[in-house]
Amino acid sequence: MNQGARTLPKIFRLSALATLVLLSACGKETGPTAPPPAPVSFIELKAVDVALNKEMVGETAGYRDIEVRSRVNGILLRRTYVEGAQVSAGQVLFEIDPEPYKASLDQAKGQLSLEASKLDKARADRDRIIPLFKENAVSRKDYDDAISAYASALASSQTAQASVKQAELNLGYTKVTAPFSGTTSKLVQSEGSLISATGDSGRLTTISQLDPLYVNFSYSEQDRQELEAGTRSGKVTLNDAKNFIAKIKLADGSVYPQSGLVNFSDNRVDPKTGTIRARAIFKNPKGDLLPGQFVRVTLELGKRKNAILIPERAVVQSQADHIVMTLGADNKVVPVPVKLGSVVDGKVIVESGLKAGQKVIIDGLMKAKPGSVVNPSPASSPAEQ
């Protein structure tokens, strides 16, 4: 009985101790642990001079594109060149049946001989009557008739000479020659066709001079105004207008090795498109470029002074605005709306909103919420600086 009495207080004390431990644990409240600041990388903005380039779509065109046409009517006898081949200036391309024109030439020569004999007789009559008239041996009427006959015979002879020359030209036109050296296109009329000197039936082929080659393009009225405004404000330094270098990128992404020069810019704006036509000229010695190709034209216009550039991935689209996340005091994220300009080597020019010395977040933007505190570190790649 005494032993049980001694055991009961001991058990009671252990139970009470366990109860106190449980109550202590239940009374200790633990709140959510705050996440650490998100790691981000940033760049510090610097004002630099950059090349002022402009890219647009262009289309190639032959330096000279000429439709080869027949100057006379007749049957097309033969084609003397290979379609799509290079031809030289003066090379015979087509032959039209010359027989009718040979006959016309013979007829014109016969008429010329007849008129020449009449002229000789009229000249002889005139030479005989002039001294007789001076001696009053013939009447004034006989003298006037002789002079008039000579003048008429001379005019007829000249007309006959012109007819012979015209007939010779027409006969020569039966051989259609290349007006300049270039590349021919597909034959329009086949051998045996009746060719007319007027209308579409007179068109035989087209010759294009491919070296040099033109690239036609257009730029907007807004681009011109912005360029002029930048020049007036001193932000832009333009190259000499005669030295606007152009480069082109082909459809496969390759860059054409030859650089060109802008040699024409129109003096008016197309009211339908709001653009201004322009043209660059490129050397094309190997014929790598063909007329009608669409290319990307890049113009090297000059330099943009003290420009602020940021990587394109640093820009956040917010409805119609562009936002850049910057680092403020105590590493807080501060959103800044910006106005963007052209892209230069993967970086975009900031027209307004940022200035040199500010720090712009370029990586970790998904966790860089406006007003939040972040853990910034400089961008490791030198290309980002």
We report the CATH number of the domain holding residue 113 as 1.10.287
Assigned domain for 207 exists: no
Residue 12 in any domain: the answer is no
Q: What pLDDT does 257 receive?
A: 92
Tell me what pLDDT residue 17 has.
44
Which pLDDT does position 230 carry in this prediction? 84
Specify the number of domains making up the chain.
Answer: 2
45, 384 contact by CB (below 8 A)? no
- Final residue before a domain boundary, out of 148, 173, 198: 173
Decide if 116 contacts 175 (C-beta within 8 A). no
Domain that holds residue 115: 99-173
The residue out of 173, 199, 224 marking a domain boundary is 173
Spatial contact of 299 and 343, defined as CB atoms under 8 Å apart? no
pLDDT of res. 367: 85
What pLDDT sits at residue 365? 86
pLDDT in tens, 255-302: 999 999 999 989 899 988 889 999 999 999 888 898 889 999 998 888
Domain boundary among 116, 139, 173: 173
> Are 44 and 108 members of one domain?
no
Residues in the chain where the model's pLDDT stays below 70? 1-32, 34, 381-385
In a domain, 45, yes or no: yes
Query: 154 in a domain, yes or no?
Result: yes
Instruction: Identify the pLDDT of residue 103.
Output: 96
On whether residue 3 sits in a domain, the answer given is no
- Is 44 inside any structural domain? yes
pTM of the entire structure?
0.64
Percentage of residues of the chain with pLDDT beyond 70: 90
* Residue 320 located in a structural domain: yes
**CATH classification at residue 368:** 2.40.420.20
In a domain, 114, yes or no: yes
User: Per DSSP, which regions of the chain are E strands?
Assistant: 38-44, 47-69, 74-79, 86-87, 92-96, 175-177, 182-184, 194-195, 203-220, 236-238, 245-249, 260-265, 275-282, 294-311, 315-318, 321-327, 333-344, 347-352, 359-363, 374-378
| pLDDT at residue number 34 | 67
Question: Are 44 and 106 part of one and the same domain?
Answer: no
Q: Tell me the residue length of the chain.
A: 385
